[in-house]
Structure 1
């Protein structure tokens, strides 16, 4: 049986993160070559090695890429020779990100939108320019969130120091329409952009929060990071070749 991504070259931006590193592992398993990109190779390398990835293998290339830097992003997409798809799993934010609603300053809000949504625009734009230059099939998967689709369930954060950042909701909802804009603008069936919107992903959150969150799901509670990967693989593959401008929610019913 053929792997989903045989002979493809896939860029994973944010490959040193929780989701990004796992995606690199799963994409390699499906027969693709991976360009793993993050701010620091020294930080990314041990994260990938911990998953059992041979980072010196021919199938993987590690690069440093700051997706918020226009010059770096333009230079990368202008120089890359072969690319069939990309996943943007980056999560750029400033030091005051995550404050409660009334504590968020306009300057901080604007900076976080510029960092996260701005870099998503830049990444999407450069993927589109790459396609316009090379004219072969290309699939971009952006990572949105269930909170880009529904209002926050603030009750799950009670008795914790956590909240659902207002910047996050604004960014992740805007990202969904950015996808539609870009594929409509390019208007070519060979160029696709879709989003995956996970529910909560387990990352050692407080037990009280985990218990509260689980009540709104169909029983799974917070998802493991690898629960998200299958949907991303599908969207990168030819199995979804006419799926475009869509958002697939993976949340075990949290948004119902």
Structure 2
């Protein structure tokens, strides 16, 4: 029996596919899909695919945060690897790291230029190609709990800086981008959804800031932070035909963080 989120026979692209969350998704996709194209920065995707012995995954060096170069890069990828059935878009430019009081307007804009604008360019370009193909598709964006609620400054102890406003604002914008695109491309069978993760701190943060991790855990209903493997199932569901009547949706995976 096929798994309920089967992606058998499908070609899936993943951006940021060698990162902390992206890597576990890529590895699972490699076990199911006919072909996976893993986009990440030069050298990173190649090393990841080689290290884990992924046999169905093709590494492609691409800075998806370069909006100006993205259309030509996407055309080249389609020409070489074919148009995907689905896309998991995790790649995201780093936020400023500034405190609100000291954040220059140019740095605020830089986050949007490096995160939101490329996401718009990528989504529209691939959706238009999927529309022309005539068989639909699924594109999954990645927002954040901080695109839904504001960070609690009380848990960011010195010398930590509270999660910056440009990060949350750009992640909130991704939610609206997905909704708008879902409505526009719905008649063509192209679905847009978001996975909206809660606290999934990477191992470096967990080892460096144990008190902060404990504070994060206490703010979830499950009293713990997320394991990166727990992002896989929700992502595969939205990519799969099991979610064929799901579009314009934000699937929140936050351990109950936003339920209080």
With the length of structure 2 as denominator, give the TM-score of the two structures: 0.89
Q: Which moved further from structure 2: 115-124 or 230-239?
A: 115-124
Residue 230 (1) aligns with residue 233 (2): yes
Match of 1:18 among 9, 17, 20: 20
Q: In the alignment, what sits opposite 2:35?
A: 33
Q: In the alignment, what sits opposite 2:2?
A: 2
Q: In the alignment, what sits opposite 1:66?
A: 63
CA offset digits 1:30-81 (Å, max 9, x no partner)? 23410011121x222333444x333xx3x21111222133454222433412
Match of 2:200, SS state, is: coil
Q: In the alignment, what sits opposite 1:153?
A: 152
Residue 53 (1) aligns with residue 53 (2): yes
Cα distance in 2 between the residues matched to 1:197 and 1:163: 19
Cα 1:253–1:184, aligned 2, differ >3 Å: closer, same or farther?
Answer: same
Q: In the alignment, what sits opposite 2:74?
A: 77
Q: 1:1-256, aligned counterparts within 5 Å?
A: 1-3=1-3, 4-40=6-42, 42-50=43-51, 52-54=52-54, 57=55, 59-70=56-67, 72-79=69-76, 80=78, 81-93=82-94, 97-188=96-187, 190-203=189-202, 204-205=204-205, 206-256=209-259
Q: Which moved further from structure 2: 66-75 or 116-125?
A: 66-75
Cα distance in 1 between the residues matched to 2:29 and 2:53: 11
Cα distance in 1 between the residues matched to 2:249 and 2:29: 21
Superposed displacement of residue 136, structure 1: 1.3
Q: Which moved further from structure 2: 101-110 or 200-209?
A: 200-209
Gaps of 5+ in 2: none
CA offset digits 1:91-150 (Å, max 9, x no partner)? 2136xx111111110011111111111111111111212212212121000000011111
Q: Which moved further from structure 2: 200-209 or 166-175?
A: 200-209
Match of 2:187, SS state, is: coil
Cα 1:71–1:157, aligned 2, differ >3 Å: closer, same or farther?
Answer: closer
Cα distance in 2 between the residues matched to 1:92 and 1:160: 23
Q: Say if 1:78 and 1:130, in contact at 8 Å, map to a contact too.
A: no
Q: Name whichever structure is richer in helix by fraction.
A: 2
Cα distance in 1 between the residues matched to 2:17 and 2:222: 29
The root-mean-square deviation of aligned C-alpha atoms, in Å, is: 1.7
Cα distance in 2 between the residues matched to 1:215 and 1:65: 38
With the length of structure 1 as denominator, give the TM-score of the two structures: 0.91
Q: Which moved further from structure 2: 175-184 or 159-168?
A: 159-168
Q: Which moved further from structure 2: 97-106 or 219-228?
A: 219-228
